[in-house]
Structure 1
Amino acid sequence: MRVLKTYARVFVADLDESLPLYETLVGASADLRFAFERAELAAVGDFLLIAGADDDVAPYRSTVGPVIVDDLDGLIAMVAGPSGAEVIGESESATGRFAYVRHPDGAVVEYVEWSPEVVASVLGTPKAGHPHG
């Protein structure tokens, strides 16, 4: 299991208004842009912009991440065993699979395993050696 990428979350009122500044800072267009639940997200460089009403984005403010990993099942096996971390939610999104994990120190981290297509699009490489790609 490897960490492929981490993002700094930035909460914004309007994605269309905020995104150009981050694209200028990074010197590139957004890698990803999609709706998730009642929010809209865009990934540009190492920033993940999250736009939506305060009530809609409130649950994401108390979590760390996302941390992109190459093997979510391997990550869960690694942290949920001897470390005492607890998986508190798992699901799928437009980019792949994700899990929220409460670490023994109380931090809640969002771990994401991207689909092979998203890995190739964002990182430019396939998920070599992974059973799904």
Structure 2
Amino acid sequence: MKIKKILTRLYVHDINTAIDFYKKLLSEDCDVRFKYTEMNLELAQIGNILILGGTDEALEPFKDTKATFLVDSAVEFREFLLKNGAIIIRDLKKVPTGMNLTVKHSDGTIIEYVEHNKILIRESNAK
């Protein structure tokens, strides 16, 4: 059970402008970009930043989530978190990048846990 990376989340209306800015600011390429049609969102990852783009209405259910932890096993983290006082906000679910769940830690902080599928990891590493 390992946290591979912690992503800071940014919520924006114009994802293209945000991507251009953060690519320049961080001198890094956009690692992952995809539409999450089911939630009316578009997401992009640049370095340790996860940009969520959409309308106020589409972003609202996610704005209390403070960070995204990329993990090796969402299932194992779910078990660990439940045994350690976390409350499930959104349970394990297949998403465009693999699987995720959102929990409230015992200190009140809301975190998304994401396990990327192997194909995405290979594609990202090939860049």
The aligned residue for residue 60 of structure 1 is 62
The aligned residue for residue 131 of structure 1 is none
Q: How much does 1:31 deviate?
A: 0.7
The aligned residue for residue 108 of structure 2 is 106
Q: How much does 1:88 deviate?
A: 2.6
The aligned residue for residue 17 of structure 2 is 17
In the alignment, residue 49 of structure 1 is paired with which amino acid? I
Paired with 1:78 and 1:51, the residues of 2 have a C-alpha distance of 31
Give the TM-score normalised by the residue count of structure 1: 0.85
> How do 1:1-133 and structure 2 match up within 5 A?
1-36=1-36, 37-81=39-83, 83-89=84-90, 90-122=92-124, 124=125
Aligned residues with identical type, % of pairs: 28
The question of whether the paired residues in 2 share the 8 Å contact of 1:72 and 1:98 is answered with yes
Which structure carries more strand by proportion?
2
In the alignment, residue 109 of structure 2 is paired with which amino acid? A
After superposition, the C-alpha distances for 1:33-55 in whole angstroms (9 at most, x for unaligned) are 11121111111111111111111
CA-atom RMSD in angstroms: 1.5
Equivalent position SS for 1:84: coil
Paired with 1:49 and 1:40, the residues of 2 have a C-alpha distance of 8
Give the TM-score normalised by the residue count of structure 2: 0.88
The aligned residue for residue 128 of structure 1 is none
Equivalent position SS for 1:28: coil
The question of whether the paired residues in 2 share the 8 Å contact of 1:31 and 1:121 is answered with no
Structure 1 residue runs of 4+, over 3 Å off? Answer: none
Paired with 2:48 and 2:5, the residues of 1 have a C-alpha distance of 8
Paired with 1:87 and 1:34, the residues of 2 have a C-alpha distance of 25
Paired with 2:79 and 2:11, the residues of 1 have a C-alpha distance of 31
Q: How much does 1:28 deviate?
A: 2.2
